[in-house]
Amino acid sequence: MAKELLKGNIAMAEAAIRAGLEGYFGYPITPQTELLEWMAERMPALGRAFLQAESEVAAINMLYGAACTGARVMTSSSSPGISLMMEGISYIAGTEVPVVIIDVVRGGPGLGNIAPSQGDYDQIVHGGGHGDYHPIVLAPASVQEAIDLVVLAFDLAEKYRTIVFVMADGNIGQMMEPAELPPMRPIKSEYPDWAVRGAMGRERRILSSIYIDPKDEEVTNYRLMQVWNQIQANEVRYREYFLDDAEYVVIGFGTAGRIALSAARMARAEGIKVGLLRPITLSPFPAPQIESLVSRVKGILVVEMNAGQMLNDVQKVVKGRVPVEFYGRMGGMVPFPDEILAEMRRMSQEVIPLDGDPRQRWMKRFAPVIHWNN
Amino acid sequence: MQTEILIAGFGGQGVLFAGQILAYAAMDAGREVTWIPSYGPEMRGGTANCTVIISDEEIGSPLVLNPTAVIALNLPSLEKYEPMVKVGGVLIVNASLVNRPPQRADIESVFIPLNEIAERLGNRRLLNMVAVGALLAKLPVLSLDQIKQALEEHLPERHKKFMEANLLALQEGADFALKEGKIKVQ
């Protein structure tokens, strides 16, 4: 198929439809509303279910029920809407039914604003809902990658009976890029042996997240962890740029990752040997890849559009063996490549301590920017 | 090689479509391209801008601090973005809505009365295509023929009747920029 110029939100919606989406449940919120609008137009025309719920709480519970039938289903929202869904997300995790959830992250906390952000990292990657569970989290950095990851999300969700988030941001949702959509897959005709679709002529099945006896819940939790181990072993995805001879490495995901790519090229042009590691799966986290960099590089710079959430996961791998610095923009602000370049120049010139807190050092450096804003 | 074009003006001046037609033409030419709007709560009558990046390799940041070229369709856009144009870059200014001379000598500025030219062509809404024509005359990242093909391919069906007028607008813009584009900086 030929490339089309596609807006991220619409590309993600159409990718889901072509991956065999049978039901979409959602509630409008900027900056992902075009996704829901596309679903509203396309899904009924294809004879599939589109439902605009009365709230995000309703949407996630509709999704839960529909997922129990074994159908390919999804919802999408943006940060405050995802917060509202958290109870249902935990129930879905506890019931072990596959769903895909797209979060087009915006500035927060609270109502915040509609600008691009990565402030939901901790909430999505490290839980948000109650209890022990680990969703798979995919972070696209381009419209094409958003398409590919939405399709992958459905396959992974069904393979592991798990929740898969596609965590984008306002930039990915609103940007247009040439991209190729996959061919239309047929709606599946066979459903898994756990699905509840009517029990005529066979023993009934029950799907639930209730395990009244803690012994049973413990068994369930153990099973969830076994699946999570498999996911960690098999599903880490990332992209590397210029790492072969890199003396410094930037780690950034999604929009921050592609901005860091521009900065790394600028640094290379100045003779600073910078490489980039862009995690595509935030969960499972590419810890083995970061581990392999620790012995090879002089320093690591983590760049995020938040106050250093993935930074914690990087530090957990690095364990103070190589200097780590952090640069972030918050609240819907997006860094220019020049800002990241300045950090790379500084790292290549100064001695960065192995101990101390990179976040505290960044806050100190960043204070003048905040004063200048005001 | 990467070219960044920022187009800014009021909502309703065709800012976003001007960027999109550049993006379509770049895509059809097999180039890498990104189009990103400033999106916010403001819509009608407010400010609008978009950035188009055309490149031969994977594009990193979809936004840049110092674009290769800026099209400023009104005075607030000129004030905001004239200082940002990359040294040696191009600035296209809608002289119909701007009452001051250019301030930078290290870029090439074209002050062009877009509203008057568009009105003379019979439709004020053609001003964005006049601007694109002027830009490409000074920054040949795409040819007018490539824009023409992109319009034929991607102009919505209901707007196809404006095809001829759009082509005329592109040509008028290019001609103006080539003949009268040099303006002395004061």
Are residues A101 and A283 in contact, defined by beta-carbon separation less than 8 angstroms?
no
Domain that holds residue B123: 2-180
Report the percent of chain B where pLDDT is more than 70. 94
pLDDT digits (tens, 9 = 90+) for A288-304: 999 999 999 999 999 99
Q: Which residue of B has its CA nearest to A334?
A: B63
Are residues A140 and A164 in contact, defined by beta-carbon separation less than 8 angstroms?
no
Backbone angles phi, psi at A300, to 5 degrees: -125, 135
Give A78→chain B minimum CA distance, Å. Answer: 15
Closest CA to B135 of B178, B92, B167, B105: B92
Are residues A1 and A180 in contact, defined by beta-carbon separation less than 8 angstroms?
yes
Residue B64 lies in a domain: yes
- Gap between the Cα atoms of A301 and A249, Å rounded: 6
Residue B186 lies in a domain: no
Residue B185 lies in a domain: no
Q: Which residue of B has its CA nearest to A340?
A: B61
Share of chain B residues as helix, strand and coil, in percent rounded to the nearest 5 = 45, 20, 35
Amino acid at A64: Y
- Domains A4-234 and A238-373 are alike in CATH topology: yes
Partner-chain contact A336 B60, CB within 8 Å: no
Give every CB contact of residue A213 below 8 A, 6+ residues apart in sequence: none
Q: How do the domains of chain A map onto residue ranges?
A: 4-234, 238-373
Sheet holding A136-138, edge to edge: A49-52, A23-26, A73-77, A99-105, A163-169, A136-138, A281-283
Residue-level length of chain A: 374
- Pairing of the two strands A281-283 and A248-251: unpaired
Domain spanning A238-373 has what CATH number? 3.40.50.920
Measured between beta carbons, the chain B residues lying within 8 angstroms of A169 are none
Low-confidence winner among A16-30, A195-209, B60-74, B168-182 (lowest mean pLDDT): B168-182
In chain B, the number of structural domains is: 1
Residue B94 lies in a domain: yes
Question: What CATH code is carried by the domain that includes residue B78?
Answer: 3.40.920.10
Q: In this structure, what token pair is assigned to residue A35?
A: 């996704």
- Gap between the Cα atoms of A119 and B111, Å rounded: 43
pLDDT digits (tens, 9 = 90+) for A223-281: 999 999 999 999 999 999 999 999 999 999 999 999 999 999 999 999 999 999 999 99
pLDDT digits (tens, 9 = 90+) for A58-100: 999 999 999 999 999 999 999 999 999 999 999 999 999 999 9
pLDDT digits (tens, 9 = 90+) for A142-195: 999 999 999 999 999 999 999 999 999 999 999 999 999 999 999 999 999 999
Residue B42 lies in a domain: yes
> Considering the entire predicted model, what is its pTM?
0.96
- Gap between the Cα atoms of A30 and B37, Å rounded: 14
* Burial of A367: CB neighbours in 10 Å, binned 0-12, 13-18, 19+: exposed
Residue B98 lies in a domain: yes
Partner-chain contact A337 B35, CB within 8 Å: no
- Gap between the Cα atoms of B179 and B138, Å rounded: 11
Q: What's the average model confidence in pLDDT over B53-75?
A: 97
Would you give the end-to-end CA distance of chain A in angstroms?
A: 49
CATH of A4-234 among 3.40.50.12780, 3.40.50.970, 3.40.190.120, 1.10.3720.10: 3.40.50.970
Is B123's Cβ below 8 Å from some Cβ in A?
A: no
Is B50's Cβ below 8 Å from some Cβ in A?
A: no
